[in-house]
Amino acid sequence: MADKTELLLIDVYSLVYRAFFALPPLSTSSGRPVNAAYGFQRMLNRFLREERPSHVVACFDAGIPPERLAAVPEYKAQRPDTPDDLRPQFELVRRILQGYGIPIVEIEDEEADDCIATIATLAREQQLDTVVVSGDLDLLQLVDRHCTIVVTKRGITDLVRYDEAAVRERYGLSPEQLPDYRGLKGDPSDNLPGVPGIGEKTATKLIAEFGSLDALLANLDAVTPKRIAELLRTHADKARACRAVSTAKRDLAIAPDWEGWRYQAPSPEKLATLFNELEFKSLLSQVAPALASMGESTQADGAEAPAPFEPGTYALIEDAAAAVRAIESARAAPRAAALLVPALASWRTQTPAALALSWAERAAVLIPASVLADATVRERLASFLGSTTPSKIVYDLKNLSGWAARMGASVEGVVLDAMLATAVADPARGEPTLEQALTGTPGAGGALEERAKAATLFEAGAEVKAEWSQGADALLRAADARLASLKRDGLERVLFEIEQPLAPVLAKMESVGFRIDRDELERIRDSLARHIDETTREIYRLAGTEFNINSPKALGAVLFEQLGLPGKKTKSGYATGAEVLTPLAQEHEIAARLLQFREASKLKSTYVDALPALIDPATGLLHSTFHQIGAATGRLSSSDPNLQNIPVRSTIGREIRRTFLPATSGNVLLAADYSQIELRILAHLSQDENFIEAFRRGDDIHAFTARAVFGIPEGEPISRELRRRAKAVNFGILYGISDFGLAQSAGMSREEAKQFIAGYLARFPKIKGYIDDTLEKARATGYVSTLWGRRRYLPDLRSRVYPMRAAAERMAINAPAQGSAADLIKLAMIAVDRLFARERIRARLALQVHDELIFDVPEDEASRVGALVRDAMEHAMALDVPIVVDFKVGPNWEQVEAVDER
């Protein structure tokens, strides 16, 4: 029970990392790594025991705020990837917190420090004392008479508590001066450069003497020695940017739930079950001595005791003859597993480090690259992969298919891609590592019961880094359990009809690529540089002063204090993001110029400057890497470069697209685009007769909506403005838009927007009914589904924090339509690929951008290919409304023109 009214805030990621590196490797009897989870649990127990808080909240990092990266692009860029043995333990930590009944707060694209700072500020307003526990010192800026910080000094038991006196004793500065201090000295752990040549002592002396960074920079003539003054003068903007990045935000959209955050001791039985599963025997005896005898015999839901994974005797192949014998053994077996090493290689990996094969339990080999290079081995391997027998279990079919294609082979007979199966079962995971695919941590829908017998097979992947052959063996043994779990959750169609057939299609698409018009790109670079320079000068003219445009703090001061533009100041400064500047741009030229500056700067660095370096010297082409499971909705994404994010409506974006040419000289590009597909799917899902009939008649759906909502008779014209507003609400409904959001996007008052939405839902009651039913079912089940059965889990639908719950509700409304559209275009890609093979068409699919497919086509075949592609795309999925595809043809991506040959 709590001894006093006190809030305990937990910086989860920093503590978990501290525990991982502080403790030696620990794993369960089945090989699952648990040292970080164990260390975190021990620290959590100590904090709860010693602090005895009345309220507890755990905060997670959920990305880096874009404004921090804009201010300091290298911020945290040097940090290594999460260790493979640590990554799966974060899910265990979440389960530990759940076992203790401790709520979690995390906000997309925000760091835990900012969530903690915001909640601590809210607590102070309630006269509630706060203790923050963290693994680093960044949060000492929060210390005041209501807030103390406890930091791990060494290991997980040596702790230091900071109040205001302790901060002054260590730094010689007050807590609120620490961001200024960090702006000067930088921070290597976060890759903040600070001012070159200024270290801790000098930074402390300067801030203590002048009081703040701003006062220091305003009085550089008083700084001695002059060398330091010159450094400050030269790097002042860098210091301000590092300070801005170092300042914790205190105004995130977090609605405090003081009653829901009240801590109550957890059930010993509940903790005992969890600790028994994780084999935390000492903790088990502490929390439930009477239950400690449960030991390893305890089973959840009466499941059979899992059999331990017993590794086999694996061979490293050293010559071609042995490789051929191994391949023939695999060929003769009913089922075999094939695993490329390293896994998740990009298309640029021409030769893998090795290939692991397994064809029977405890039987596997590793064939290194030196042996794979042998012509006979490659021939036998191509024959093995290209045959429908044996049945094959793989990990990452796309890259295996791409590698096989370079040998002139395909990969046939695949009954399971463990990577895709894991992602389908738990879509929030993204691209799972091999270890995650083997451990099979259950998603929100319980896709795999950890206590079930199958789980132990998946857990076998804990040591595959050291022994890849064991990974192939584990893949083979895990297949039946994974297949059973997919069937139980009704996800077979998503995997076997969409994702696995799509993988080789994506491999082909990656290999096609684009030629880049380098001369045009150079012209754009020069033009952009001039545009950025001119826009900068114009911004300075409109501001009446020069300042660091990339600094949110400096920009906020100019816009909202110096120029008096409407803006809201919080304790962390003014918001200067696009959501603030866009409405201001309609009345204030400087805001419009700032948006132009940001777009031009981003496109120049992301594309114009970066594209030449990404061109493959072997092919002379630009190839992107496609991720078929990169988004929870099922949408494709791309990287290196991201070709799905080049703006189509801006002049600069269109100019960049003009540099993309067909890979084959003399060919043209054909772009086939689904028309209003998400609205058509919404009509089908809602079964609203009005919408269905409008689409069947081929009406302008936005004019139809405006006419229906405002009662405008047929024959009377619809104004452009009214149609624009109807379009905004049509698409807004798909995204759970509010009256405030519609007012912002459509340029109307909030009251007008409220009336428009009310009129829309009254006129189309089945859409409202569909939305209500979707939310009700999602709250009950924890997920929503697409037409093909793809799930998106939304645990925040039950969150007590309003912003998180509201965001989950918007996702629940949007995900079925957006996810079904993603399924549709994937099915279309598969259908088109099969069509091209069957008809021996020379065109090739080069790119997918959301609802659009782009093909590299011989010019004399463009008309025929367009007609065939349109037919395949329009019949890839059956809806109660017609599916319409428009296509365009042109010499480059930007100059494609509409073709209507219906």
Residue 554: alpha-carbon gap to chain centroid: 30
Residue 33 has pLDDT above 90, yes or no: no
Strand-pair category, 354-360 with 625-627: unpaired
Task: Classify residue 102 as left (phi > 0), alpha (psi -120 to 50) or beta.
Answer: beta
How far, in Å, CA of 364 to CA of 339, rounded? 11
With bands split at pLDDT 50, 70 and 90, how would you rate the model's confidence at 577? confident
Neighbours of 426 (CB within 10 A): 23
The answer to whether the beta carbons of residues 136 and 189 sit under 8 Å apart is yes
Question: Which of 216-220, 453-457, 576-580, 739-743 is predicted with the least confidence, judged by mean pLDDT?
Answer: 453-457
Residues 604 and 529: beta-carbon distance below 8 Å: yes
List the one residue out of 732, 803, 746, 734 whose CA is nearest residue 774.
734
DSSP per-residue letters across 204-259: HHHHHHHSSHHHHHHTGGG-SSHHHHHHHHHTHHHHHHHHHHHSPP---S----TT
Extract the tokens encoding 675: 């028309």
Give pLDDT, residue 343.
Answer: 52
CA-closest candidate to residue 375, choices 425, 324, 337, 411: 324
pLDDT in tens, 284-340: 555 544 333 323 333 333 333 334 567 788 888 989 999 999 999 999 999 999 998
Residues shown for the chain: 902
Which among 450, 444, 451, 412 is positioned nearest to 427, based on CA atoms?
444
- Token pair in block for residue 525: 């670079």
Given a contact cutoff of 8 angstroms between Cβ atoms, the answer to whether 367 and 323 are in contact is: yes
Confidence of residue 510 (pLDDT cuts 50, 70, 90): very high
pLDDT at 471: 84
Contact 885, 835 (CB under 8 A): no
Q: Residue 587: which residues within 8 A CB-CB, separation 6 or more?
A: none
Query: Out of 201-205, 437-441, 567-571, which region has the weakest mean confidence (pLDDT)?
Result: 437-441
Identify the residue whose tokens are 């695993």: 339
pLDDT for 178 equals 94
What are the tokens at 863? 């008309």
Hey, which residues does 192 pair with through a beta bridge?
Answer: 187
State residue 531's pLDDT score.
93
The Cα–Cα gap between 203 and 213 comes to 10
Position 455 scores a pLDDT of: 31
User: Would you say residue 711 has pLDDT above 80?
Assistant: yes
Q: Return the percentage of the chain with pLDDT > 90, whole number.
A: 44
Mean pLDDT confidence for 624-646:
85
Q: Is the pLDDT of residue 652 over 80?
A: yes
- Would you call 361 exposed, middle or buried from its count of C-beta atoms within 10 A (0-12, 13-18, 19+)? exposed
**CA 414 – CA 411 distance, rounded (Å):** 7
Phi, psi of 518 (to 5 degrees): -65, -35
User: Please, what sign has the CA dihedral across residues 821, 824, 829, 835?
Assistant: negative
pLDDT of 462 above 50:
no
pLDDT at position 293 is 30
Alpha helix (H) ranges present in 413-452?
418-425, 434-439
Residue of 823, 833, 879, 882 lying closest to 855 (CA atoms): 833
Distance (Å, whole) CA 144 – CA 394? 56
Here the contacts of 225-231 (C-beta below 8 Å, separation 24 or greater) are: 227/197, 228/197, 228/198, 228/202, 231/195, 231/196, 231/197, 231/198
What band does 466 get if pLDDT is binned at 50, 70 and 90? very low
Residue among 820, 722, 728 nearest 770 (CA): 820
**Taking 60 as the threshold, does the pLDDT of residue 825 lie above it?**
yes
**Do the bridges between strand 414-417 and strand 391-394 make them parallel or antiparallel, or are there none, so unpaired?**
parallel
Average of per-residue pLDDT across 222-235: 89
pLDDT the model gives residue 438 = 74
| Torsion 501-506-507-512 (CA) sign | positive
pLDDT tier at 546, thresholds 50, 70, 90: very high
For the segment 157-168, the average pLDDT, to the nearest whole number, is 86
What is the predicted pLDDT for the residue at 434? 76
Average pLDDT, the chain: 85
Most confident of 84-98, 292-306, 531-545, 711-725: 531-545
According to the per-residue pLDDT averaged within each range, which of 184-193, 285-294, 781-790 is highest? 781-790
pLDDT reported for residue 669: 97
Quote the Cα angle for 850-854-858, to 5°: 170
Q: What pLDDT, in 10s, does the model give residues 94-149? A: 988 988 889 999 888 889 999 999 999 999 888 788 999 998 888 999 999 889 99
